[in-house]
């Protein structure tokens, strides 16, 4: 017998995604999937349509495949568009700026702050704008503060090309 999805299942779904968010690696992909699943369930409930767990899993699998293709396309675009613009530098970090950056959060250690500070030195010495590209959410969680307080732009690699 196939089990039908009921409203109480949304509470279970919320608990599953909370567990995903506790694992840093799953945070961003889980958020996209969670939005899609909840919207799908709410749409079905509003229309008064019954559906099974199997149907939900099929819908979820379809969304995962679509997201996978979108991510691959974005990554391919990033590689094509950014490769000529990527420059590596060995500028020395400003020690005072480094300390101020590291004091922003415990998530930004001294090594991270040094890299962020050296990017600022690079921008100044070369009269260019740069984006600090990282997948470290210890830094990305503070990207707004870093931009507002230190004028440092940070981005996840998937979105970096959109910062230029």
Q: Which long-range contacts (CB under 8 A, 24 or more apart) does 105-112 make?
A: 105/138, 105/141, 105/142, 105/145, 107/137, 107/138, 107/139, 107/141, 107/142, 108/138, 108/139, 108/142, 109/138, 112/136, 112/138, 112/139
Indicate whether 94 and 159 sit together in one domain. yes
pLDDT of 84? 45
DSSP structural state of residue 33: H
pLDDT of 75? 63
Last residue of a domain, one of 49, 84, 119: 84
pLDDT of 117? 92
Indicate whether 80 and 91 sit together in one domain. no
pLDDT of 29? 66
Last residue of a domain, one of 35, 64, 84: 84
The angle formed by the CA atoms of residues 22, 25 and 59, to the nearest 5 degrees, is: 90
Half-sphere exposure of 147 toward its Cβ, with a 13 Å CA cutoff? 13
Domain membership of residue 1 (yes or no) is: no
End-to-end CA distance of the chain: 54
Last residue of a domain, one of 27, 53, 84: 84
3 state SS of 105: coil
The pair of structure tokens assigned to 13 is 């779904």
The angle formed by the CA atoms of residues 110, 148 and 81, to the nearest 5 degrees, is: 85
Domain limits for position 77: 9-84
Per-residue pLDDT of the chain (164 residues; tens, 9 = 90+): 567 877 777 777 777 777 766 666 566 666 777 787 788 888 888 898 887 878 877 877 877 777 677 666 666 655 555 554 555 566 688 889 999 999 988 889 888 999 999 989 988 888 988 889 888 888 998 999 999 999 999 988 877 777 76
Euclidean distance between CA atoms 126 and 120, whole angstroms: 10
Number of folded domains that form the chain: 2
């Amino acid at each position: 017998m196939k089990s039908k999805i009921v409203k109480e299942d949304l509470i279970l779904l919320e608990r599953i995604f909370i567990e995903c968010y506790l694992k840093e690696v799953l945070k961003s992909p889980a958020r996209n999937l969670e939005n899609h699943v909840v919207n799908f369930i709410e749409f079905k409930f509003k229309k008064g349509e019954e559906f099974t767990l199997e149907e939900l899993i099929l819908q979820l699998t379809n969304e995962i495949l679509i997201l996978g293709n979108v991510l691959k396309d974005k990554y391919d675009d990033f590689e094509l568009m950014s490769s000529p613009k990527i420059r590596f530098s060995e500028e020395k970090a400003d020690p005072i700026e480094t300390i101020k950056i590291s004091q922003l959060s415990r998530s930004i250690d001294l090594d991270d702050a040094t890299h962020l500070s050296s990017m600022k030195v690079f921008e100044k010495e070369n009269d260019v704008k740069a984006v600090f590209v990282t997948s470290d959410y210890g830094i990305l969680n503070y990207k707004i503060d870093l931009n507002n307080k230190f004028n440092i732009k940070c981005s996840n690699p998937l979105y970096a090309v959109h910062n230029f």
